[in-house]
Amino acid sequence: MATPRSSHLGYAIDPVLRIRAIMNNHLGNNASAPSWLYFLLVFFASLLPPDSARSDFLQQHWQHPIGAQGPAPTHYSVLESDLKPAACGNCHQQEFEDWSGARHSKAMGPGIMGQLVDMLPGDPDTVTLCQQCHAPLAEQQPNSPVSDPELRSHGMVCAACHLRKRKVFGPPARVTSERSSGATTPHNGFTPRPEFTRSEFCAGCHQFSQEGFALNGKLLENTLEEWKASSYAAKDIQCQTCHMPDRRHLWRGIHDPEMVKRGIQIEVKIPAGFASDKQQLSIPIAVRNSGTGHRFPTYVTPKIYINAQLIDTSGQPITESLRQAVIGRDVAMDLSRELFDTRIAPGKTFVVNYQYAMPPAGSKLRVWIKVDPDNFYRRFYKTVLASNGPQKGRILLQQAYQESRNSIFIIYDKVFSLVIQ
């Protein structure tokens, strides 16, 4: 077995060894170790480290924590020197507007802040580990000499992807009129890099390493590899193609109803008629992953609920006829085991048969599909709030819990007439 490489925190890159090292350092032999800390460590210790499969540029670009930018060049204006997204928005108005409504701008929201505020006094290294994807700049680290609390609160800011030691990087210009560099251009222009247009650019925060935490032989976060195994990779359809169309900084995903609708096809196959002497109905409901370049959904966090229920001749639902199927990957709250995995691979179809005793003539069938983007997080917040976990951050976690409830939406709701003869 190869010797594990060292990370910036001094722990082995092997996530299991790193988790044990941090847990022992933080909690010793305390049998009542809070599950919320273990949960965080599993996720952030498993993230993809720099390796030989990534370009030299990406290995250098995504060193964590990202080094301090240092003093701005003397000829820079106040705006050019400012690392906050609003400063960038003075010139990059569309990008700033998109980012402001995107999940990246909420990367340091109440869910993560409610946990880190309790962790910081005793374990700042783990806070740094968590922030490598939520707020990775040196200027966003709470104990850094160059710390900027306001910048930290903005999460994944423009500079996190585009700025290294005051040098701006971005995708190659699409038109020759765009100026890429020069002292007369704002912030000395930019250095074009093709990696900004490739899926691998996103891997550091959306793909666990091959040695990362897995259940039932599957990494807990495996989006890049799911994409590589699909036809989308072969067709050169990158993450950015769908999540940053026309280079928009939207990053829409499972929280966006229209994005979800575009990624799947739903079909309810109602027969032309049913014989009344049959003992039961059998109606296939199919959900096809027709437009998502990874499993639908990709993480353990969301759940999609397919619901079907008969409606009687008076228009009232028949309570006992309700049936539900779940699309998603469910794991135990302590991450000890996988409970089920019904996610849909690209191009594949999930089919559930609605079965129930034959109803009276004139009955109807309602089918509706509910998306719960933050299902695992909500269960996690509820568990933490009911325990002796974080105390300083409880109000923030209560806010995160409520936000997770508000994120649920319906993407499909139809009532079908049943011809029963």
**Cis upstream peptide for 271 (omega within 30°):** no
- The pair of three-digit structure tokens given for residue 221, joined into one six-digit string: 């976060």
| Total number of domains constituting the chain | 2
Q: Is residue 124 part of a domain?
A: yes
Count other C-beta atoms under 10 Å from residue 160's C-beta: 22
Mark which of 163, 180, 206 sits at the end of a domain: 206
Do 316 and 186 fall into the same domain? no
Amino acid at the residue 377: Y
Domain assignment present for residue 219? The answer is no
- The answer to whether the bond into 297 is cis (omega within 30° of 0) is yes
Mean pLDDT lowest for which of 114-118, 172-176, 278-282, 346-350? 172-176
7 pLDDT band (50/70/90 cuts)?
Answer: very low
For residue range 304-339, what is the model confidence (pLDDT) as tens digits?
999 999 999 999 999 999 999 999 999 998 888 999
Separation CA 250–CA 298 (nearest Å): 18
Prediction pTM value = 0.87
Look at residue 55 and tell me if it is in a domain. yes
Question: Which residue would you say has higher pLDDT here, 159 or 360?
Answer: 159
Is residue 348 a part of any domain in this protein?
A: yes
The CA angle 25-28-33, to the nearest 5 degrees, is 105
| Any domain includes 245 | no
Whether 327 is in a domain gets the answer: yes
Question: pLDDT (tens digit, 9 = 90+) per residue, 135-145?
Answer: 999 999 999 99
Range of the domain at 358: 257-417
Measured at the CA of 381, the angle between CA 379 and CA 385, to 5 degrees, comes to 120
**Over 80: is that where the pLDDT of 60 sits?**
yes
Q: Whole-angstrom Cα distance, residue 27 to residue 164?
A: 36
Do 111 and 33 share a domain, yes or no?
A: yes
* Of the listed ranges 174-188, 303-317, 330-344, 358-372, the one predicted with least confidence: 174-188
Contact 133, 47 (CB under 8 A): yes
- Is residue 198 within 8 Å of residue 171, measured between CB atoms? no
Q: Which long-range contacts (CB under 8 A, 24 or more apart) does 117-122 make?
A: 117/390, 117/392, 117/393, 117/396, 118/389, 118/390, 118/391, 118/392, 118/393, 119/37, 119/40, 119/390, 122/26
Residue 215 lies in a domain: no
Banded model confidence at residue 277, pLDDT cuts 50, 70, 90 = confident
| 198 and 264 within one domain | no
